[in-house]
A and B are shown apart, each in its own frame.
Chain A
């Protein structure tokens, strides 16, 4: 649409009114075209990501001798490739669930702390500190996790094994604690900021009247939170958690640094082993040949689709809430 516009005189000057108006219109068209073009470019990029990944993935899957969804192996070096995503899917889901279970209650607590509990002088710095937590690069979390967190978790795991080992899920055979559970703890720390900041925003929007009504009836602060803040913020907490889940699912380098991977599913969460989609890609990329790269792209496509669904659902919940509160206000 830009091409059919004749070049216009750029000098603004003070010509008669008519020519000034026409200059403006042409400029408007160019500007609208440029800005709309950028918006469309974004959509094209999204489509291209899906398209190119799907194309390379289809090549890889057609060469796969094993079942792509259920195989417990990843050998892409030799010509008949055998690889499957079962272990990766398990590891990704389990580590993310652990992260959610730890992070969401704490994040909601911090959000409440900032919005309703902290003295005002403390609330702003605390919010700032939580934002700083988000600014720390993931590889630094990985380094810290591998060199500080892992050795410090060993005594905790030994203790858990002593009292909860009979469950099987929480048994621990010793060695470096580079397991899915450790990954879950690290991911929990990493997604804490996003869950906190989204929940905090929602809690801040709770109508003052609701809270004051509860207070006037003699409610304690906890009862105010339970009766007016949490019900209002429920959908916000859900979508915040899903945004956090999206982060946890796709986290790469921190997991690649901390986890000691294997292509077996361990019953125990505390023993080393397992893997996640993103970690598998980062760890195996360097040694992969052309076929191997396509196989990794195939697993990346699965990750892409999963995160797309999770994030899309989270955004839909937020959008619906916005409309709802917009009409109510």
Chain B
């Protein structure tokens, strides 16, 4: 049907080119759909902007398909449909993230202040406002620090083995199990330390027990990222060093590692950010505490994720406020680690020329 319109009414269009919608058409349709969505929403008495958005999105998908089908034909309409669905997917993914960050910042900032950051919950009545998360922040820093001290060297050396030495079956098996280990649920790592360290060896609940479980979760992440970075180091550098008679281990220490240190640091920091938010092993192994316990080796501690869970379980407005505030602190900590790590990656990217 479009052929006839081209032939008769528009003399400037050649027969080689199909009829096209103007370039502003998608934008115009989007505006129309949003307006219609809001209109229908208010008419039906829905106060929820999310529902209106959903109506607008559906309208846009249908409208753009229909209009394109009428003007440009079936194939182009299908293309338009796929494009709008893909854009819709993207928008759908952004909504929860924005909502989550908005909620956390909005509700967390009400009680987040210097007092909150410098006091514990010791002796605070849980249904009243007040108290803080200092004990939890301290616990998180200690547990994550110990976990990093355990996991980073093992992970680093394993990655060096896989990249620099690994040939044959052992390397293949290690590679496979590192991959599988990445998928271990955090609660299972916690149960393992529980059965081994607390039930069988008879140690008590402590920050150290939690740190060991976190280390298990951290190791495969460090191995994976370090491996990637070591592989980026050009072989020419290794060969040049070996050709000068430098032994292999010194080549690795003096040439390979310095070249890739930026990427490795990034990987370790991302791994730290990842385990800092783990709460399941902490519930099983660290057990939680209201007071400040500076020793990770003796007695129960708290940690930020655990603190959030605990305050949520108390189930009153004051504790919800504290939970949101702690969530804000935790998210800020994790995001800052992420940003700094990526900054380092960009700043110290290996100059490979690839």
Task: Report B318 CB to chain A, min CB distance, Å.
Answer: 14
Question: Can you offer 13 A-B residue contacts whose CB atoms are under 8 A?
Answer: A38-B153, A48-B196, A52-B195, A55-B195, A135-B277, A137-B278, A140-B100, A144-B99, A147-B312, A278-B187, A297-B191, A314-B183, A315-B180
Q: Contacts A43-B173, A136-B100; is A49 near B184 (CB within 8 Å)?
A: yes
Contact B338 A135 (CB under 8 A): yes
Contact B274 A135 (CB under 8 A): yes
Give bound CA distance, A311 to B177, whole Å. Answer: 10
1/0 per position for B244-280, CB-CB distance to A under 8 A? 0111111010000000000000000000011011111
Interface stretch of the complex, out of B26-34, B77-85, B119-127: B77-85
Contact A243 B334 (CB under 8 A): no
Contact B189 A138 (CB under 8 A): no
Q: Contacts A117-B87, A133-B93; is A48 near B324 (CB within 8 Å)?
A: no
Contact B78 A307 (CB under 8 A): no
What is the interface of chain A mostly: helix, strand, loop, or mixed? helix
Contact B177 A46 (CB under 8 A): yes
The number of chain A residues with a CB under 8 A from chain B is: 99
Which A residues lie within 8 Å of B165 (CB)? 32, 35-36
* Chain B residues packing against A (C-beta within 8 Å): 48, 50, 75-76, 78-79, 81-83, 85-90, 92-94, 96-97, 99-100, 103-104, 153-155, 157-158, 160-162, 164-166, 170-171, 173-174, 176-189, 191-192, 194-196, 199-200, 216, 219-220, 223, 245-250, 252, 273-274, 276-280, 283-284, 305, 308-309, 312, 320, 323-324, 327, 330-331, 334-335, 338
Give bound CA distance, A10 to B99, whole Å. Answer: 58
Contact B178 A42 (CB under 8 A): yes
Contact A303 B187 (CB under 8 A): yes
Q: Identify which of A31, A147, A192, A247 gathers the most chain B CB atoms within 10 Å of its CB.
A: A31
A101 within 8 A of B: no
Which B residues lie within 8 Å of A146 (CB)? 312
Task: Report B158 CB to chain A, min CB distance, Å.
Answer: 4
Name the residue of chain B whose CB is nearest to the CB of A155.
B48
Contact A300 B216 (CB under 8 A): no
Q: Contacts A133-B97, A147-B320; is A42 near B185 (CB within 8 Å)?
A: no
